[in-house]
Amino acid sequence: MNIEEFRNYCLSKKGATESFPFDEQTLVFKVMEKMFALTGLEHHPTRVNLKCDPERSVELREEHDGLIYGAFHMSKLHWNTVELEMNLPNDLIIELIDHSYDLVISKLTKKLKLELENL
C-alpha cells in the first residue's frame, strides 16, 4: 500500500478528517477530533502509526518483526508503527486501519457516537 492509498482509505472512514496539527510533515487522521492514524511524510519508505489493542500489538510485533513495532514518540502500549511499503499484505494494513478507527470510536462518548452516526 502506498501513501495515497493509505490516505484515501483513512478518509473513506465515516467522519474522518486529515490535518497537520504538529508540523508540515506529520499528517494526522482523526475521527471526532480523536487520532486514529498518523504518518510523517518525510519517511521513505512510508510508515504509519496506528492505535492497537495492547495484546494484539505484541502478537503483531512478533509475527511481523521489523515491519510492525512500537510507535516512536507515542505510547508503545497502544500504538504501533506499520511499514506500509515493505511486503505487508494490503488486507492486513486495511484491517489494522479499521482496528485503530474502531478502537477510537469505542472510546467516544455517547453524544459523540450519536453525532458520528448522524453524519
CATH number at residue 15: 3.90.1150.30
> Per-residue pLDDT for 24 more than 90?
yes
> Per-residue pLDDT for 101 more than 90?
yes
Strands (E), the chain: 16-19, 26-31, 34-40, 47-51, 68-70, 79-83
Q: Mean pLDDT throughout 61-76?
A: 94
Query: Domain of 113?
Result: 3-117
pLDDT for res 39: 97
pLDDT band per the 50, 70, 90 thresholds, residue 72: confident
Beta strands 26-31 and 16-19, pairing class = antiparallel
pLDDT for res 106: 97
Residue the block writes with cell 511499503 = 85
pLDDT for res 67: 96
What sign has the CA pseudo-torsion 102, 106, 56, 48?
Answer: positive
Q: What percent of the chain is modeled with pLDDT above 90? A: 96
Q: Mean pLDDT throughout 110-115?
A: 97
Count of structural domains within the chain: 1
Rounded Cα–Cα distance for residues 96 and 82 (Å): 9
